[in-house]
Amino acid sequence: MNSHNGKIAEISLPEVEQKTLATSPGGFKIFNRIVDWITSDRMQLINVTERINEIDRKSGIRDGIVHLQSLHTTTAVFINEWQDALLHDVRAFLDDLVSREEYYRHNDPAHSDCERKNADSHLRGMVMGQTLCLQVRNSVVLLGTWQSIILAEFDGPRSRSMSIQVSGI
């Protein structure tokens, strides 16, 4: 269980979706990207704050909203402090909250065709949530002093994608 950053690979959307769209005389724009991370552990926390801020700056949008959406049901995106002891506590809390050892119908071949036996990962993702909507000010995400944006992997190692949409002026 590492709390290090995963490898990053940016995937471009189709050309039509990738364009920045001006939809009003005031210069309202929408900017889309999908970014991939390669995880290395079954449960892994990745600080994605700087990568999100890079995309905010690339968008050319100074003030607005950034919407983050994990494209997987066995991941989550949330805000918390990025501190080793707390990250350890977060992982322990999630392990205690949803035990991998419980019986889940999703893991039972008599009830499900899922070969990964990852019901606990789905439940952790459901509890933590797959989306965040945050303010962008001066081309960066508005965060408190100790806040970081964290992508949580619950069913790794795998390739994980997040859709990032920045909108504003």
User: Could you report the per-residue pLDDT of 95-154, keeping only the tens digit for each?
Assistant: 999 999 999 999 999 999 999 999 999 999 999 999 999 999 999 999 999 999 999 999
In the structure, what pLDDT confidence band is assigned to residue 11 with cuts at 50, 70 and 90? very low
Report pLDDT digits (tens) over 15-41: 334 444 445 567 999 999 999 999 999
Which residue matches tokens 């290090």?
4
Q: Which one is predicted more confidently, 168 or 17?
A: 168
DSSP for residue 6: P
Q: For residue 169, what pLDDT is reported?
A: 97
The predicted pLDDT at position 124 comes to 98
What is the length of the chain? 169
Output the pLDDT for position 16: 35
pLDDT for position 3: 44
- Residues pairing with 47 in the sheet: 150
53-72: b or e for each residue (b if 16 or more CB lie within 10 Å)? bebbeebebbebebebbbeb
CB 77, CB 151: distance < 8 Å:
yes
Q: What is the pLDDT of residues 54-93, one digit of tens each?
A: 999 999 999 999 999 999 999 999 999 999 999 999 999 9
For 111, the 3-state DSSP assignment is coil
The answer to whether the beta carbons of residues 80 and 150 sit under 8 Å apart is: yes
Pairing outcome for strands 21-22 and 29-38: antiparallel
The β-bridge partners of 9 are 36
Res 12: pLDDT: 42
Q: Is the pLDDT of residue 5 over 90?
A: no
Query: What are the C-alpha distances in Å from 114 to residues 18, 73, 76, 156?
Result: 34, 14, 20, 15
Cα–Cα nearest to 154, from 87, 100, 113, 111:
100
Q: Give per-residue pLDDT as tens, 156-166.
A: 999 999 999 99
> Given the structure tokens 């790794």, which residue do they identify?
156
